[in-house]
Chains A and B, each alone.
Chain A
Amino acid sequence: MYSVSELYIPQTLGEALAYLSEHPDTRPLAGGTDVLVQMRAKRLEDVRLMSLEKLPELTGIRCREDGVVEIGALTTFTQLAASETVAQRAPMLRTAALAMGGPQIQNRATIGGNVCNGATSADSAPGLFALDAVLVLQSAAGERRVPITEFYSGPGRVKRDPKELLLHIELPAAAPRHGDCYLKFSTRKAMDLALIGCAAACEIGEDGAVSKAAIALGVAAPTPIRASEAEAFLTGRKPGLEDLEEAGRLALQSASPRSSWRASKEYREQLIRTLAKRAFRAAYESAGGVL
């Protein structure tokens, strides 16, 4: 049922990167909550696995002096949800962590795995997109920094070089008046994938005008996306209810949802309109904005 050709457990980051250089067909194994599912479904067979369990460089959550928050790739969703650092910088990531799977899966699954698996439904992705998070990757050849918005290349595909490991994710320092919100829409309240996920982040000026608007969507396209038309519309405004409706409509312009047996295009479009509007409103209000 689970066909593994080799399981390598490096003791140091150096060993891990050396092994990847030598065996670029390796599948890094973090929590295994995606990899094992794919193996069971035979989408992965005779796979060469490298377990990351012994690598401390990939763990931990830190707030640097410059206000940048670093989240180690091996941070589990349980750790993410429990982190005060994360909650202060971006409470929506805590929401996303608790919306993912169930407690058992949250205990195993890691944020790095969630991102590198490349699924458009990844619960961590919309929040990281909306925050303009930066991924720090390393190979034997050196370090590379990639904005997460440029990392995804297609359904289940990301631009991780097979010789690279994701070390950590950086969240830029927060502006003085900022707020965010993640809304996951799924049939079930737990153990489910998003039909649409929507994250919004917002920075406002003292007058309440939006100085920075970010709306990111999961499952609205083959990869997570930013709704740039809606963001441009909101930037500089003191939004009213009508503006939020318009932002919802504009969010749809960035999206290309599909009909599948899980949900129709028509319904996903309605969810995009509604969630974009609601998420941004919540983000704006949590930044101190008054409608």
Chain B
Amino acid sequence: MTQHSVVGVSAPRIDAYDKVTGRAVYVGDMKFPHMLQGKVLRSPYAHALVKRIDTSKALALPGVRCVLTSKDVPDIPFTLCGHPLPFDTPLDARIFATHVRYVGDPVAAVAAETREIAEKALGLIEVEYEELPFYLTPQEALAEGAMEIHEGSGNLCGETDLAFGDVDQALKDADYVVEDEYDSPIVTHAQIEPHVSIVIPDPKDGRLTVYASTQCPSIMRERLAYILGLDRRKIHLIKMTVGGGFGGKQEPVYEQINCVLAQACGCPVMLELTREENLACTRTRHTTHYKIRTGVNKDGTIVAREIDIEQNTGAYASHGHNVFFNQFGQFDSLYPCPNMRVRGRTVYTNILIAAAMRGYGIPQYCIANESHLDHVAQVIGMDPLTLRQKNLYQLGQERKYAPPHSVGSCGLPQVIEEGRRRIGYDEFRKAPPQDEGPIKYGIGVALSSYNSCVYSHSVELSAARILVQDDASATLFLGCTEIGQGADTAMAQIAAETLGIPLDWVTVKEGDTDLCPFDAGAYASRQTYVTGNAVKQAALKCKAQMLDRAAKLLERPAAELDTRLGKVIDKATGEEIGDLRKVAEDMVYHLTEGNTCCHEVGYIPTTNALNYAATFAIVGVDTETGQYEVKKLVTCMDCGTLINPQAAMGQLTGGTIMCFGFGTMEQILIDPKTGRVHNDTLLDYKIPTFADLPPIDAHFIETVEPSSAYGNKSLGEPPNVTPAAAIHNAVCNALGIQIPSNPLTPERVYLAIAENKKKQGGV
């Protein structure tokens, strides 16, 4: 492996100092002269028609500047999905609803001098609703005679049936057929920074400057212009420091409402959600019902797989059926099988909107499928890890079901072996710990594969512009988005490494659509994989120009020269022979040959690298209360070569914590009588505290991915996939039962134990 100077080094994050000292500026910190505060009036009903709205009392309240309803704003149907053009989900949303489809659907908005006045004004808006029957589950929404939530949809937002090979025959021929059902919960991003925006209209031409907390400035600009019926040049999007996205800030969520408020008032408006709104009225992970059948032979060979996926997308499509496609994309990259049938249905209901969330379908698919595999192993009497290893994807194996990407690197066998060793898998299996009173011990494993972008499903363009200054320092202009994951630092490291300058010579400017080139944005774990290539290629062009200049200065052929940490070096010997700052100075200030050095490259990937991970867990379960303790949690991951090992470990640890919450305690609970969210506070929507976390042993196995800038692969989402499934399997292993849903709250575990006891007593 080539020895690098900047890449592969644990440099401090370039945004860390500002964040930990409170200097970083978030949208909610900003103040502008005459800035108003916006508030949204929401439907109290899960499904209803707005028959009449009277805003006159609200408008008469001193301090109120405008009150808007559907009749005041463009009536352009749009999709709440945050993907680049072309639209790939139904255009089923409006700025304000007249047909409200979930508790929280916006029906009006107010801008006022203070938030208190705006809030008071909401209470003065009179709305008459005609209540309609509402449906909270796909089962209810697809029942015969159910009313259509979106006209003409039949309450189906997307449907797919695919089969490969001869599934029926293979199931007939298999030694065993194992079948399971599984339900995953509604969970939400719970970003520490709620959704917030400031919109400033320019009175001379109506151009809107939008300060946003977004993962995708380029997409947000395009989509806001579309929703508002404006030319795109009328939107200037500026992304500020983002306090967490996790997929929830991929698309416009309330920014469009803030735009119409600012347009109507002609002055800056801030619209910031409360914690309660952020939990109950933004975006979630799809709650999904799985039916899985596996045909397996005695020797552990899986001969047929049949998977039925039913996603509840809530009131609007947003990312909708795309989340199914992402799950389907992983079917043959981990456990390929010649005979396979998959059916996916994405269903409209009257709950809050499911959309993109870290892992995009894969965490729920992983926990359903990995718990099913444990059941398969139990039925055929095989060790669960052995069963998996018998059916693993092998490097070089042809992929049939997903878009046929070649796989350039696969550390799957190594992550399994390393995890197995670290947890002491074989020792546990050979001699499981004795019960201690009511405490029983169990071990579990879960594996995953994960894409590094969305190629070839949708547009994947990322661009980078690098301006090398007259002192060889560099300014990076990126559409790539720092949302807390460390993208700015990774891009700066790639630029510094490629240019041959120290990291602190690089400045990153990103997220301003007037200054920065297009980038699809921070989702699909794609930034370092895709934008990293754009940065490297732009840097190579800048470097070539500098070396040309250096060749003239040093009177050596450019081909014999290289750069490292701000010096010109002899390529062959590594000897320092010049100062890159002098080269850059000469490049700019030369009397006749002076020139600037600025290059922009747009990059589209031509394949889709795969991240592989294995998590192992050991738990002790208190069978009298259902409470359990995760004694050991080991994750080993192949995300290619690490750009910044310490930042990478932050991602792996953070994702593990998020997934721990998904597996063990997080769930949005909805009142079946009203459709309202019960738990819209962080007391009752339980994200784990540090006191709850198990000891986490996270470890990387480095491979070299040939299709990326420096051997790297996806890292943003994959850590949020396997931990929940491994813990789930460990608890089930301890108890010798299946639990077909998560989160594994102590109550759920205890009730499963009690039910199992009843069943056994009844036999």
Q: List the interface of chain A (C-beta within 8 A of B).
A: 1, 102, 185, 187-193, 195, 261-264, 266-267, 270-271, 274
**Interchain CB contact under 8 A, B625 and A188:** no
Q: Which residues of A contact B382 (CB under 8 A)?
A: none
- B261: min CB distance to chain A, Å: 20
Q: How far is the CB of A103 from chain B (nearest CB, A)?
A: 10
Kindly state whether residue B115 has any CB partner on chain A within 8 Å: yes
Instruction: State A1–B274 Cα separation when bound (angstroms).
Output: 10
B695 → chain A closest CB, angstroms: 14
Partner of B625, one of A190, A192, A270: A270
Given A270-B750, A274-B625, are A102 and B689 neighbors across the interface (CB < 8 Å)?
Answer: yes
- In this complex, how many residues of chain B approach chain A with their Cβ under 8 Å: the count is 27
Which residues of the other chain, B, contact A262 by a CB distance below 8 angstroms? 684
Q: Does B625 lie within 8 Å of A189, measured CB to CB? A: no
Interface of B is mostly: loop
Cross-chain contact B686 with A188 (CB below 8 angstroms): yes
On chain B, the residues within 8 Å of A190 by CB distance are 689-692
Q: Give residues of chain B (458-475) contacting chain A, Cβ–Cβ below 8 Å.
A: none
Write out the residue numbers on chain A whose beta carbons fall within 8 Å of the beta carbon of B745: 187
Interface SS, A side? loop
5 further contact pairs, Cβ within 8 A, besides A190-B692, A267-B747, A267-B750: A1-B115, A187-B665, A187-B686, A191-B682, A270-B625
| In contact, B625 and A185 (Cβ under 8 angstroms) | yes
Contacts A187-B665, A266-B751, A274-B625 given: A192-B119 contact, CB under 8 Å?
no
B195 CB to nearest A CB, Å: 17
Given A1-B115, A261-B669, A271-B625, do A188 and B747 touch, yes or no (CB 8 Å)? no
Q: Given the complex, which residues of B lie within 8 Å of A191, measured CB to CB?
A: 682-683, 689
Determine which residue in B683, B686, B747 has the highest number of CB atoms from chain A within 10 A of its CB, and name it: B747
When distances are taken between beta carbons in the complex, the residues of chain A under 8 Å from B602 are none
Q: Is B746 an interface residue (CB 8 A)?
A: yes
Contact: B747 with A264, CB < 8 Å? yes
| Pairwise interchain contact A188-B688, C-beta atoms closer than 8 A | yes
Do A189 and B751 have beta carbons less than 8 Å apart? no
Which listed residue, A189, A193, A271, touches B692 by the CB 8 Å rule? A189
In the bound complex, do residue B116 and residue A189 qualify as a contact, i.e. CB atoms below 8 Å apart?
A: no
| Given A1-B119, A264-B747, A267-B750, residue A193 in contact with residue B671 (CB < 8 A) | no
Chain A residues whose C-beta falls within 8 Å of the C-beta of B625 in the assembled complex:
185, 270-271, 274
Query: A195 — which chain B residues lie within 8 A by C-beta?
Result: 747
Q: Is the CB of A189 within 8 A of B115?
A: no
In the complex, the answer to whether A189 meets B119 with C-beta atoms within 8 Å is: no
Q: Are B678 and A263 in contact (CB under 8 A)?
A: no
Q: Specify which of A189, A267, A271, A274 is in contact with B691 (CB 8 Å cutoff).
A: A189
Against A, the Cβ 8 Å flags (1 = close, 0 = not) of B89-129 are 00000000000000000000000000110010000000000
Closest to B693 in A: A189
Check A192 against B678 for contact (C-beta < 8 Å): no
Closest Cβ–Cβ distance, residue B708 to chain A (whole Å): 39
Residue B231 at the A interface, CB < 8 A?
no
Decide yes or no whether B624 CB sits under 8 A from chain A: yes
Contacts of A271 in B (CB 8 A): 625
Considering only residues 653-688 of chain B, those with a C-beta below 8 Å from chain A are 665, 669, 671, 678-679, 682-684, 686, 688
Q: Give B608 Cβ to nearest chain A Cβ, in Å.
A: 38
CB of A1, distance to nearest CB on chain B (Å): 7
Interchain CA distance A261-B667 in the complex, whole Å? 12
